[in-house]
């Protein structure tokens, strides 16, 4: 008899877990409260660690099939001065596919491998004996329950595992814009860049030949910066040289307040939590999804190696938690630089930029970590500047 796992939530974390467990021969059911796949947001930064997980899960090529490899990432002042710059290689990749491409790659492969999906079904609670309770009154018992039901996880809260939850006092608006052929021919249009003016930022990230991902970020109290629909005049006045981006921002788009949370424990008996339910973080490292994918694959791998569910889950928490909590903290404090006076902030960025060692110990630590359950050898093609 195959072992059974019931997963609450069909986002990045739940989908990663579904694939990781089905590949180890488990019978997997995913309960997703939305009526179908829900690719919220716009593009998603996938760094080396996340890409390695996708390779191990067999959906790397499918995920990035429309995406173009990043070759350079800059940070610039309002006058266009570059104060931080990184380049990517075949050992340190970055892709920014659309969220739809990522989630449908997961979904198609999961369906192919026989994962059962129940859409429009909400999980409301779980019990340590391996029972999940659903909003429609049903209960399901399995060898393992995974709460991957996002930042407002009901599975987590039913077990009382939340230790603290804190707003980062920053707000992000995300949208996609169409890219023009002219733009593809320019240096600026081909590279990733985070443009700063005071505490406000515009991130420009090429995703596909036709689409770029834009994020506008502002801090608490900046009411015009946080208004939706976007206040084009305000952003235009702040970044006059970026009208080629701002003019194309759509009315619709998603806005989020950024948060960080920590748990007392990541598991209770036969219930385990992954994804934003445990590792929600401000998106300044672009690693929330990466951490969710790493945790999901590692969980299946540790359990397989231990040949015992609770022992494997205990080993998983002991080994994986430290790096993920570290990532949350680095993302939070890195984001706090937005509250510094601009000159001091730029000086800090320049300092980090000067030292590869410092970068590897902080903002690149997670991206360069070889996730548990992945092959350490790179198996991908060499990146070329576009």
Ligand X SMILES: Cc1cc2nc3c(=O)[nH]c(=O)nc-3n(C[C@H](O)[C@H](O)[C@H](O)COP(=O)(O)OP(=O)(O)OC[C@H]3O[C@@H](n4cnc5c(N)ncnc54)[C@H](O)[C@@H]3O)c2cc1C
For ligand X, the binding residues (CB under 6 A) are: 8-14, 31-34, 38, 44-45, 122-123, 148-150, 154, 172, 174, 256, 275-276, 283, 286-290, 292
3-state secondary structure of 232: helix
Distance of CA 213 to the CA centre of its chain: 14
Which tokens is 327 given? 């990532």
Whether residue 186 has a cis bond before it, omega within 30° of 0: no
- Among 373, 372, 155, 117, which Cα is nearest to 273's? 155
> Three-state SS for 305?
helix
The secondary structure of 193-224 as a DSSP string is EEEEETTEEEEEEE-BSSEEEEEEEEETT-HH
Expressed in percent and rounded to 5, the helix, strand and coil fractions of the chain are: 40, 25, 35
Cβ 307 to ligand X shortest distance, Å: 27
Q: For ligand X, give the closer residue by CB, 295 or 346.
A: 295
> How far apart are CB 55 and ligand X at their closest, in Å?
16
Measured at the alpha carbon of residue 10, what is the angle toward residues 226 and 144, in degrees to the nearest 5? 130
Residue nearer to ligand X on the CB measure, 16 or 238: 16
Our CB check for ligand X shows the closer of 188 and 256 to be 256
Q: Are strands 144-147 and 271-273 parallel, antiparallel or unpaired?
A: parallel
Which residue lies nearer to ligand X by CB, 292 or 301?
292
Contact 119, 35 (CB under 8 A): yes
CB nearer to ligand X: pick between 126 and 315? 126
Q: Cβ closer to ligand X: 167 or 237?
A: 167
Considering the complex, state which of residue 193 and residue 346 has its C-beta at the smaller distance from ligand X.
193
Min. distance of Cβ 347 from ligand X in angstroms? Answer: 26
Q: Are 285 and 49 in contact (CB under 8 A)?
A: no
Q: What is the dihedral of CA 6, 11, 13, 16, to 10 degrees?
A: 80
Closest distance between ligand X and the C-beta of residue 215, in Å? 6
Nearer to ligand X among residue 8 and residue 242 (C-beta)? 8
Q: How far is the CB of 211 from ligand X (least distance, A)?
A: 15
- Report, in Å, the least distance between residue 34 CB and ligand X: 5
H or E stretch at 157: helix 154-158
CB of 73 to ligand X, least distance (A): 12
Neighbouring-strand partners of residue 164: 262
CA distance readout (Å), 207 to 26, 96, 189, 274: 34, 5, 11, 27
Q: How far is the CB of 241 from ligand X (least distance, A)?
A: 24
């Amino acid at each position: 008899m195959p072992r059974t796992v019931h997963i609450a939530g069909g986002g990045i974390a739940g989908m990663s877990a579904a694939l990781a467990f089905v590949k180890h021969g488990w019978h997997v059911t995913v309960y997703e409260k939305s009526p179908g796949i829900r690719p919220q947001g716009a593009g998603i930064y996938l760094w080396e660690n996340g890409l390695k997980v996708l390779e191990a899960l067999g959906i790397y090529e499918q995920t990035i099939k429309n995406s173009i490899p990043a070759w350079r990432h800059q940070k610039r002042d309002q006058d266009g001065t570059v104060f931080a710059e990184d380049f990517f290689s075949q050992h340190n990749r970055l892709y920014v596919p659309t969220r739809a491409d990522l989630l449908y790659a997961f979904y198609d492969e999961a369906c192919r491998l026989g994962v059962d999906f129940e859409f429009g079904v909400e999980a409301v609670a779980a019990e340590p004996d391996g029972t999940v309770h659903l909003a429609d009154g049903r209960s399901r018992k399995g060898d393992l329950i995974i709460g991957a039901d996002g930042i407002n996880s009901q599975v987590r809260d039913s077990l009382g595992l939340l230790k603290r939850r804190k707003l980062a006092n920053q707000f992000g608006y995300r949208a996609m814009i169409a890219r023009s052929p002219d733009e593809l021919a320019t240096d600026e249009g081909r590279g990733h860049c985070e443009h700063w003016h005071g505490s406000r930022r515009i991130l420009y990230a090429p995703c596909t030949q036709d689409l770029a991902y834009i994020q506008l970020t502002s801090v608490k109290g900046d009411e015009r910066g946080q208004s939706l629909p976007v206040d084009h005049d305000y952003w235009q006045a702040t970044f006059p040289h970026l009208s080629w981006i701002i003019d194309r921002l759509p009315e619709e788009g998603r806005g989020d307040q950024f948060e960080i949370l920590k748990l007392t424990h990541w598991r209770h008996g036969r219930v385990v939590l992954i994804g934003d339910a445990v590792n929600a973080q401000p998106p300044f490292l672009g690693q929330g999804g990466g951490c969710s994918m790493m945790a999901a694959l590692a969980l299946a791998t540790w359990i397989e190696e231990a040949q015992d569910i609770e022992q494997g889950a205990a080993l998983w928490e002991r080994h994986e938690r430290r790096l993920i909590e570290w990532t949350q903290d680095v993302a939070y404090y890195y984001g706090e630089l937005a509250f510094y006076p601009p000159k001091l902030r730029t000086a800090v960025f320049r300092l980090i930029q000067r030292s590869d060692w410092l970068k590897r110990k902080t903002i690149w630590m997670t991206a360069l970590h070889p996730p548990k359950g992945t092959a350490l050898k790179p198996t991908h093609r060499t990146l070329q500047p576009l």
